[in-house]
């Protein structure tokens, strides 16, 4: 029987952690059944390097935006700039963007401004918005809803580890929740319960590598191949066969990230 295939919907293959063995990392992902990967650019000035990785490796697609923790250090993106980048055939999402008040609360105003620019670009391009949310649940829920009222857009709450209330708001808007290695940690039952209370057709899987490796690699460098460990925990949490969970989350990915369909 062939191995079920899944997608790593969010990784950072341009990070120096992978410089010495990028082709091997991508091959290990394929060997583990991770058939496609979306590598995320977090500072727009680095977009050419991220694009080059997607152009070099067939299974790799990319997205670009200004990470909220970098929003105060980087020039404010424009809608036109993001829309122009989206013309590339392997550019499949807008972001990551969002709000992070855990480390960078002092820049909340510019983070919110940047987030709204990215939402406008997602609305215009019909590409999914990729959201990073940390310690900013109330503002995040408010801005996502305010902007949705101005015009629909699609969105994934990447590496979701926020409150049940923010999950409910995102799901109400038709958005998706993505499981990272955090959801596979033994002590994350409460987080898994948030995921399993969501419709299964709104769940994605990711690594956020090189960060947040799931068990049995916790504490080590993460890589796209390890998405399979998180997906197996996800299947258990949902009470599904791994084959069915893999198929469903891949269908979900293809629906949301329509430019990266197999």
Helix then strand then coil, % of the chain, to nearest 5: 50, 15, 35
Can you give the C-alpha Rg of the chain in angstroms? 17
pLDDT digit string, tens, across residues 172-221: 999 999 999 999 999 999 999 999 999 999 999 999 999 999 999 999 99
8 A C-beta contact, residue 198 and residue 183: no
pLDDT digit string, tens, across residues 1-42: 678 999 999 999 999 999 999 999 999 999 999 999 999 999
**201 known ligand binder:** no
Cα–Cα distance, 9 to 158 (Å, whole number)? 9
**132 known ligand binder:** yes
38: nearest Cα among 147, 139, 212, 158 = 158
**158 known ligand binder:** yes
End-to-end CA distance of the chain: 20
Judge if pTM exceeds 0.75: yes
Cα–Cα distance, 183 to 194 (Å, whole number)? 10
- The structural domains of the chain, ordered by start, are 6-260 (3.20.20.140)
**251 known ligand binder:** no
**96 known ligand binder:** yes
Cβ partners under 8 Å of residue 90, min gap 6: 51, 54, 55, 60, 61, 62, 259, 260
pLDDT digit string, tens, across residues 74-107: 999 999 999 999 999 999 999 999 999 999 999 9
**10 known ligand binder:** yes
pLDDT at site 1: 61
């Amino acid at each position: 029987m062939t191995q079920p295939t899944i997608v790593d919907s969010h990784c950072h293959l341009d990070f120096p952690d992978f410089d010495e063995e990028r082709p091997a990392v991508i091959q290990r992902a394929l060997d583990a059944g991770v058939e496609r990967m979306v590598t995320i650019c977090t500072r727009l000035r680095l977009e050419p390097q991220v694009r080059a990785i997607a152009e070099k490796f067939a299974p790799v697609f990319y997205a670009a935006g200004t990470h909220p923790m970098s929003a105060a250090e980087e020039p404010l993106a424009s809608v036109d700039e993001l829309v122009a980048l989206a013309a590339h055939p392997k550019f499949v999402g807008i972001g990551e963007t969002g709000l992070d008040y855990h480390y960078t609360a002092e820049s909340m105003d510019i983070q919110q401004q940047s987030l709204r620019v990215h939402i406008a670009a997602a609305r215009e391009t019909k590409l999914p918005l990729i959201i990073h949310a940390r310690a900013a649940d109330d503002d995040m829920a408010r801005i996502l809803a305010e902007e949705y009222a101005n015009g629909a857009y699609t969105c994934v709450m990447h590496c979701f580890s926020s409150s049940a209330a923010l999950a409910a708001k995102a799901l109400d808007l038709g958005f998706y929740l993505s499981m990272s290695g955090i959801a596979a940690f033994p002590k994350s039952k409460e987080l898994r319960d948030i995921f399993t209370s969501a419709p299964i057709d709104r769940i994605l899987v990711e690594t956020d590598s090189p960060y947040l490796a799931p068990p049995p690699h916790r504490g080590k460098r993460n890589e796209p191949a390890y998405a399979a460990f998180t997906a197996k925990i996800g299947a258990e949490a949902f009470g599904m066969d791994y084959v069915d969970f893999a198929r469903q989350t891949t269908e979900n990915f293809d629906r949301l990230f329509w430019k990266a369909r197999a």
